[in-house]
Amino acid sequence: MERVIAARGKIAWSAVGWLVVFIFFFPVLWMWLESLKTEPQAASTPPTILFIPTLSEFQEVLSGDFPPFFINSAIASGFSTLLVLVLGLPAAYALSVRPVKRSRDVLFFFISTRFLPFAASLVPLYLLARDLQLLDNIIALVLIYTTINLPLGVWLLRSFLLEIPPDLFEAARVDGAGFFNEIWRVVVPLIMPGIAATSLICVIFSWNEFFYAVNFTSSVAATAPLFLVSFISGRGLFYAKLAAAATLASLPVLMAGWIAQRQLIRGLTMGAVK
Amino acid sequence: MTDASVARRDAWVRRLPLLPAFIYVFLVTQIPFVLTIYYSLFSWNLLEPGSFRFAGLSNYAELVTDESIRIAVWNTVLLTLAVISISVVIGLGVAMLLNSEVFGKGLMRTLMIAPFLIMPTAGALIWKDTLLNPLFGLLPYLLSPFGLGRVDWVNQFPMVSVVTVEVWRWTPFMMLIILAGLQSQNPEVLEAARVDGANAFQAFRRITLPLVRPFIELGALLGSLFVVQTYDSIFMLTYGGPGQDTTNIPFLLYLVAFQGFSIGQASAIGVVAVIITTVVATFALRTLFSIFQIEARR
């Protein structure tokens, strides 16, 4: 009898859960459905539910002017993530394995810069970029995204380094490995999961970033979210194309986040929650 | 070599790996901030060559008297409080469902985090054009039997629309953090409470809630640091309007700096934004450290 009640409860709660999940997932599903329609189907009233899917809008977007935006996004997120790892890993090492004095203060400093609003440094950075001819240059975005993500990277990598038994580093040092050797041959292989988590978070934040992208670039260095801005005045004419572009622009982060779900939570809390 | 010089050398060897990152972050964040404070004391419009002149505190005086900053501060507070409180409540509910015996937990979790991963500009546009649009959107169509078929959500209820899209985006974030907290709970404790005759509500209030409270606080505070900066969805959905109805501090800053090119005024807004954020961030960091300690004790 009790088991019957438990089973009923499980079915009822599952139904509630699936309903909520459906509501939250629906806009994503709808985006996918719209992207597979023709333009008249995508803007029809009542909405088209049954239709023969077509990839023509994806073809249109990919053969049009979208690829350069996508490539700029890849360059900005790729290179800034690489810089975060190159600068962040030694710093994390100096804050955990062989800690500097007052390392807690340094950690505090790093993370406080992450939560400084962009209002704090926006105007001077803009003027500097203008004077250095870096407006509408992808280098400016790479450097800014590195700044945004480096504090997160340092915290995250440190939280992974702290989990490695100190003996392993001692052994490497006794073997006479130099610092770079130690980092490259001992530290990097040991914290591959940490590097993966850091890269994931860096890519999510830089790929989706919009504020600096829209204000520091215009055409040459414009990234994927800026391509979507051109749809902003949509009057029901380009819904399918918009949905296809939105799907493509969201795809890399969605896939990376889904594959690395475990890393995601740890990264978002800077290593505090595992 | 003396002991002192060995110690000094050791300190530098330890410091060296830290320096590139430290100097980089210092240069790109601290010096511009000092310059922001400096510029905030000048009247300077980029569109008027030669307009650079010392203005004392007049930019700040203008902020105090100007209505637009007050509206922006209010909108920022309203948006942040609404988004955080709603997404924490829904996130807690979903996390508890995913922590109980339900069918297809893994898939539910996977689908649930999608709104957080979708590019915010893309998500906002999908909402605006294909879901909320009064002529072609799905929601007005579905609501037309209830007499809400011609509601222009984005224009008639701009703040509600922005809050909806942001709640959609941040609920998964809250859910993930709270779920991690729930999963660190020892199920035997709840079982024991049941045996002792506690009902589900009592068990939730006395055992589960105290346990996940630090995780809820962490989610709320980290989330509010991001939501305070909301810009993408406002740009895409309402462009701060109609009028100033959805202009928050970041959007006002954008308007002043990049539409009006008033460097001094924008810098003063920047300084005010830093002060507000510092207050929130101080609490966030305290919570973060306490969670680190909880995790370390485990």
Contact B232 A21 (CB under 8 A): no
- At residue B190, what is the residue type? L
Token pair recorded at residue A250: 């969201």
Q: Which among B123, B218, B254 has the least Cβ separation from residue A27?
A: B123
Question: Which of B186 and A55 is assigned the larger pLDDT?
Answer: A55
Domain total of chain A: 2
Instruction: Look at residue A97 in the predicted model and tell me its pLDDT.
Output: 81
> CB A24 to CB B115 under 8 A?
yes
A56 inside domain: no
Q: Which residues of B touch A246 (CB under 8 A)?
A: 118-119, 122-123, 125-126
Q: What is the model's pLDDT at position B272? A: 85
Please name the helix (run of DSSP H) or strand (run of DSSP E) that holds residue A44, with its range, or none.
none
Token pair 């972050």 is at which residue?
A: B25
Tell me the HSE value of B191 on the side-chain side, using a 13 A CA sphere: 4
For A51, list phi and psi in degrees, rounded to 5.
-160, 165
Please report which confidence band the pLDDT of residue A1 belongs to, taking 50, 70 and 90 as the band edges.
low
The Cα B258–Cα B252 span in angstroms is 10
Task: Say yes or no to pLDDT of B1 above 60.
Answer: no
User: Is there a single domain that holds both residue A148 and residue A248?
Assistant: yes
**Are B117 and A250 an interchain contact pair (Cβ–Cβ within 8 Å)?**
yes
My answer on whether A23 and A110 are in the same domain is no
Question: Taking CB atoms and an 8 Å limit, are B250 and A119 in contact across chains?
Answer: yes
Q: What percent of chain A has pLDDT over 90?
A: 35
pLDDT band at A260 (very low <50, low <70, confident <90, very high): confident
Does the distance separating the beta carbons of B16 and A17 come in below 8 Å?
Answer: no
Is there a domain that residue B267 lies in?
yes
CATH number of the domain that residue A241 is part of: 1.10.3720.10
Asked whether the beta carbons of residue B229 and residue A118 sit closer than 8 angstroms, the reply is yes
Give the integer Cα–Cα distance in Å for A181 and B59.
Answer: 54
**pTM for the complete prediction?**
0.88
> pLDDT tier at B83 (50, 70, 90 boundaries)?
very high
Which of 121-160 (A) contact B at CB < 8 A? Answer: 121-128, 143-144, 146-147, 150-151, 154
pLDDT of A67 > 60? The answer is: yes
Judged against a pLDDT cut of 70, whether residue A236 lies above it is answered with no
Q: The domain spanning residue B250 has which CATH number?
A: 1.10.3720.10
B95: closest chain A residue by CA: A17
Interface contact flag, B127 A272, Cβ < 8 Å: no
Rounded to a whole number of angstroms, the distance from the CA of A71 to the nearest CA of chain B is 16
Tell me which range, A225-229, B109-113, B258-262, B263-267, is most confidently predicted by mean pLDDT: B109-113
| Per-residue tokens: A176 | 């006479």
Q: Do A121 and B131 touch (CB under 8 A)?
A: no
Under the banding of pLDDT at 50, 70 and 90, the label for residue B101 is: confident
Contact assignment for B117 to A20 by CB distance below 8 Å: no
Q: Which whole-number Å values give the CA distances from B49 to B44, B261, B267, in the listed order?
A: 9, 12, 18
Distance CA(A138)–CA(A249), nearest Å, equals 18
Residue B293: per-residue pLDDT: 66
Rounded Cα–Cα distance for residues A36 and A38 (Å): 7
Least Cα distance to B141 among A36, A238, A231, A30 occurs for A30
Is B104 within 8 Å of A224 when comparing Cβ atoms?
Answer: no
* Whether pLDDT at A174 is above 70: no
A122/B110 touch (CB, cutoff 8 Å), yes or no: no
Residue B181 has pLDDT above 80, yes or no: yes
> Cα(A70)–Cα(B83) distance, rounded to whole angstroms?
30
Chain A interface disruption, residue of B118, B289, B290, most A CBs within 10 A: B118
* Residue B197 host element (H or E): none
Shortest Cα–Cα distance, B276 to chain A (Å): 9
Say whether pLDDT at B161 is over 70: yes
pLDDT bracket for residue B265 (50, 70, 90) = confident
Residue A37 has pLDDT above 60, yes or no: yes
Q: Predicted confidence band at B75 (pLDDT cuts at 50, 70, 90)?
A: very high
CA B173 – CA A203 distance, rounded (Å):
17
Residue A206 has a CB neighbour count (10 Å cut-off) of 27
* B241 inside domain: yes
Return the pLDDT at A23. Answer: 95
Range of the domain at A107: 61-268
Helix (H) or strand (E) holding B29: none
Q: Is the domain of A30 the same as that of A158?
A: no
Residues A66 and A13 placed together within one structural domain of the fold:
no
Are residues A256 and A121 both part of a single domain? yes
Residue A241 lies in a domain: yes
Give the mutation candidate from A115, A163, A217 for the B interface (greatest B CB count, under 10 A).
Answer: A115
| A218: pLDDT strictly greater than 90 | no
Is B240 touching A (CB cutoff 8 A)?
no
Query: What is the average pLDDT across B175-202?
Result: 80
Same domain flag for A116 and A239: yes
Closest CA to B58 of B294, B297, B262, B209: B262
pLDDT higher at B292 or A122: A122
A274 HSE (CA, 13 A, CB side): 12
| Mean of all residue pLDDT scores within chain B | 85
Find the mean pLDDT for residues B273-294.
73
Chain A CB contacts of B132 under 8 Å are: none
Residue contact A24–B225, C-beta within 8 A: no
Q: Are residues A21 and A69 in the same domain?
A: no
What percent of chain B is modeled with pLDDT above 70?
95
More confident residue, A136 or B185: A136
At A151, list the tokens: 């504090």
Report the distance separating Cα A24 and Cα A46, nearest Å. 22
Over residues A21-33, the mean pLDDT reads 95
Give yes or no for A218 touching B (CB within 8 A): no
The whole-number pLDDT of residue B91 equals 95
Q: What is the overall mean pLDDT for chain A?
A: 86
Task: In whole angstroms, give the CA distance from residue B255 to residue B224.
Answer: 22
| pLDDT on residue A253 | 94
Contact between residue B190 and residue B246 where contact means Cβ atoms under 8 Å apart: no
In a domain, A49, yes or no: no
- The values of phi and psi at residue B207, to 5°, are -115, -55
When CB atoms are compared, the residue of A179, A246, A270 closest to B126 is A246
| Residues 177-196 of chain A whose Cβ lies under 8 A from any Cβ of chain B | 179
Give the model's pLDDT for residue B130: 85
| Distance (Å) from the alpha carbon of B166 to chain A's nearest alpha carbon | 12
Q: Are B140 and B149 in contact (CB under 8 A)?
A: yes
| Contacts B24 to A, Cβ<8 Å | 87, 146-147, 150
Do A29 and A149 share a domain, yes or no? no
Contacts of A257 in chain B (CB under 8 A): 113, 116-117
pLDDT at B200: 75
Contact criterion met (CB < 8 Å) for A90 and B281: no
Mean pLDDT of B142-156: 83
Q: Which of A50, A49, A55 is nearest to A36 (CA)?
A: A55
Q: Which residue shows structure tokens 């859910």?
A: B175
Q: Using pLDDT thresholds of 50, 70 and 90, give the confidence band for residue A266.
A: confident
- Nearest-angstrom CA–CA distance, A212 and A207: 12
Q: How many domains would you assign to chain B?
A: 1
CA proximity to A135, closest of A222, A217, A210: A217
From the list A10, A27, A109, the residue facing B102 with the nearest CB is A10
Question: What is the residue whose two structure tokens read 């040991």?
Answer: A190
Q: Directed axis angle between helix B67-99 and helix B158-183, to 10°?
A: 40
Residue B3, CA distances (Å) to B7, B9, B16, B286 in order: 6, 10, 20, 38
Let me know if residue A203 belongs to a domain: yes
Domain housing B110: 58-297
Of these ranges, A19-33, A52-66, A182-196, A250-264, the one predicted with the greatest mean pLDDT is: A19-33
* Same domain flag for A29 and A154: no
Split at pLDDT 50, 70, 90, the class of B127 is: very high
Of the candidates B101, B128, B266, the beta carbon closest to that of A10 is on B101
DSSP 8-state class, residue B43? E
Test A34 with B133 for CB contact under 8 angstroms. Answer: no
Q: Which residues contact A23 (CB under 8 A, 6 or more apart)?
A: none
CA distance A11 to chain B (A): 7
Q: What is the pLDDT of residue B273?
A: 84
Q: Examine residue B16 and state whether it is found in any structural domain, yes or no.
A: no
A268·B176 Cβ contact <8 A: yes
